[in-house]
Amino acid sequence: MERAIPNHVGIIMDGNGRWAEMRGLPRSEGHKRGVERASEIVRAACGIGIKALSMYAFSLENWKRPESEISVIMSLLETFLINDLDNFMKENIRFRVIGNRAKLSAHIRDLIGHVENTTEKNSRMVVHCALSYGGRDEIVRAVKRLLVSAGDASDITEEKLGCLMDTDGAPDPDLIIRTSGEQRLSNFLLWQSAYSEFFFTNTLWPDFSREEFLEAIYQYQMRDRRFGKVKGGNFQCI
């Protein structure tokens, strides 16, 4: 029996710094390799028919890192956006940034807006870049918007709140992958991941290959997703 490809995959791209340190290289080299790996995995996901790919690039907590490292990451982001725009258009990929943009520089915000606007009508796959992102912050921002529009408490529903999340328009992630051996969400897609499957690997992100990505998809396909129901959809007392 043919197994379904997940509609939406989230990836916590972890381990760039450790990858570099293990090799006696500056952390910036790990981030550079990580960006290259991200481009490869975007192509792989698009090639097998995934409709949405959410990649955790930079958390709100990451702003606490040294200024020099943040500067490198933002420079690499700029290069990624400029270099990959042609590929997004060629492959019919829509690009969106999810997260709190307030701390981003005006230049980066303008560049993000340009890429988002240019790819807005692309429909083969959407790539969410979680940048300056935190799941709790996302929920708080959504609740604030909902309170402005809700007449009273009875107007507040899961569906209405879900439509105000940064990923509105995309299905909830079927699968979340985390590299580097850590086994936690780290504030990533907290609302959306209620029924996600998880794939954890010890591989550091710069070494996470297309082959291992496809292995994660295969492992997902072997799982029985019941969403709280009994297998087969019926419950009988014996």
With 0.85 as the threshold, say if the pTM is over it.
yes
Report the catalytic residues. 14, 62
Confidence class of residue 44 from pLDDT cuts 50, 70 and 90?
A: very high
| 4 alpha carbon, distance to own chain's centre | 20
The rounded distance, in Å, linking the Cα atoms of 88 and 140 is 31
CA angle, 81 as apex, 171 and 164 as ends, to 5°?
30
Give the residue-averaged pLDDT of 168-172: 95
CA angle, 69 as apex, 64 and 71 as ends, to 5°?
100
**pLDDT value for 231:** 64
Confidence class of residue 235 from pLDDT cuts 50, 70 and 90?
A: very low
pLDDT tens track for 95-129: 999 999 999 999 999 999 999 999 999 999 999 99
* Residues 109/65, Cβ–Cβ less than 8 Å: no
32, with CB counted inside 10 A (0-12, 13-18, 19+), is buried
SS3 205: helix
Q: Which two tokens stand for residue 87?
A: 């590929």
- CATH 3.40.1180.10 at 8-221, yes or no: yes
Question: In this predicted model, which residue has the larger pLDDT, 29 or 229?
Answer: 29
CA angle, 64 as apex, 38 and 207 as ends, to 5°?
25
Cα→Cα distances 58→70, 146, 219, Å: 9, 26, 27
CA dihedral 206, 209, 212, 214 (to 10 degrees): 130
pLDDT tens track for 173-205: 999 999 999 999 999 999 999 999 999 999 999
**pLDDT value for 2:** 56
Q: Which residue has the tokens 């710069």?
A: 206
Confidence class of residue 1 from pLDDT cuts 50, 70 and 90?
A: very low
- What string of DSSP letters covers 168-201? TTSPPPSEEEE-TT--S-SSSSTTTTTT-EEEE-
CA R_g for the chain: 19
The rounded distance, in Å, linking the Cα atoms of 84 and 96 is 13
CA angle, 194 as apex, 47 and 171 as ends, to 5°?
40
**pLDDT value for 229:** 67
Exposure of 53 in the CB half-sphere (CA atoms within 13 A)? 27
**For the chain, where are the E strands, in sequence order?**
8-12, 52-59, 93-98, 125-133, 175-178, 197-200
Q: Say yes or no to pLDDT of 150 above 90.
A: no
